[in-house]
Structure formats: structure tokens, C-alpha cells
Amino acid sequence: MMSGMAAARDRGEPLSPLWRDFAAHVQKTKNTPPYHLRRLLAALTKVRGERAASEVAILDHGCGGGVTLLYLLALGYTGIYGATVGNPREMWDLLLREVFGIEVRRFFIYDGKTLPFADEHFDFIRSQQVLEHVTDELIGLYYAEEERVLKPGGMVFQEVPHRLYPYDSHTRTCFIHWFPRPARLARRQEPDPDRYCCSETGAWEIDHREWHVCRGRSEPSPLMTRRTACVSSPAQRAPI
């Protein structure tokens, strides 16, 4: 979808036909969503309650390509926002203007420190495989900024690589995160050492961050489920 929309944008063609095709596909999966989105959608439904989907303000903290936000958009969650340190997504703002008439900017590049949003702005904040990229120096600020922009009673839903999951998606290597530390560090250098960080303090490793670094506010999922964890507002810890 992204490549098709980028090509249409470069040719000056409307994005709405491609969006209609994508939205139609999402609607077909509405009752049986992709496995990796099911827990996210269940948590979001809990936060939504009796409100319309359009009334829920959602932040993808480290949104990357933003495809998950587009999936939510196709389900009616028009209050989507994305923030990331790379991968500018002006194209999605263009899509929101063209198809939904939303003129306000929704996708932001930021410095990885201060989120460009007002206090208590969001009902739901999520990230997917982002925490393992955050350095030791910034992990506390990452959580503090989420607390600042989260509404009272809102929820933060974080998905992180599970140490018992056999495949490391960052190096695309099975079992590497179970190897001794020298082997992990050696594998990290090839082919792209900038794909993710590796802790200088030893607080976390190639595909795993210790739970105590999350300041005791994370609740890990059962060990053999997909790599998932959920944290929430200090006022409302959400079981998973």
C-alpha cells in the first residue's frame, strides 16, 4: 500500500482509490483481524467503552511506517496520531486531508525526547517493538512523556520482543538472543549495526529489555504468547 500511494502521490494522482481498496480489505478482516493486532484491538475496545471509535485519541509512539494506524483508521478510529524519530509520513497527512477532510497535522518527526503534544491529550498510547530501541539514558523520559500526554484513566499498550520467542526480528536470526553475550554483540555488527541499540550498562540485550527497567509498571503476557506487554496509566493498571 505504501509504495502504491507514494507512486500515486509522485504522479499527482488521488490517493482515495487506493485507500478504498485498503479499507475494504480491512473490513473483510474485521471479525478475524491479523493475529498480531488482536490483543491491541481488545485493549483499545476496553478503553473505548461506549464511545464512538472516532472519539478515541490514539498515539502510536514510534509509529515507523504507520501501517497499524491506517488499519485503525479503516476501522473508524479517526483520532490517530503518530510520532517517530525517522521515516517522515507526510503522505498519511495528505491522505487524511484528501479522504477525511482532516487538515490538522497528525504525523510528526520528533527528537525522541519531548512529544509534540499537550498534556493529557490521548486516551490510548501504543508502541510495537520500540522500547528495545530506546537507550538507557532516554528510557525514563520515554515513559515520563507517555504519562504526561496520557489522559487520566487512559491506557498505554506496549509490545516488545519476548525473550522466549525463538526468532529475533532485528537480526532476522533464530535463537541469537539466547547465545552468550559476545556472540550477540558480534551478530549485531552485521549487516547493519544501526538497526537497534545495545545497552552499554548491560540493562538489556540484543532483543530484550529487563522488566525492572520499565520501573515495575509492566505486566508481561504468558510466556508462550506473542511478544506482548501492557502498561497503563498509574491510576488504572490494566490486566492482560
3-class SS letters over 140-177 = HHHHHHHHHHEEEEEEEEEECCCCCCCEECCCCEECHH
User: What mean pLDDT do residues 120-136 have?
Assistant: 87
Mean pLDDT across 111-137: 89
- pLDDT of amino acid 87: 74
Cα separation, 151 vs 113, in Å, equals: 19
122 contacts 81 by C-beta, under 8 angstroms: yes
Q: How many domains does the chain contain in total?
A: 1
Domain that holds residue 75: 2-167+211-232
Q: Within a domain: residue 173?
A: no
- The predicted pLDDT at position 42 comes to 93
Residue 182 domain-assigned? no
Least confident of 78-92, 177-191, 222-236: 222-236
Q: Is there a domain that residue 20 lies in?
A: yes
74 within some domain: yes
User: What's 19's domain CATH number?
Assistant: 3.40.50.150
Average pLDDT for residues 87-97, to the nearest whole number?
Answer: 86
Q: What is the pLDDT of residue 24?
A: 94
Q: Is the pLDDT of residue 204 over 80?
A: no
Give a yes or no: residue 47 inside a domain: yes
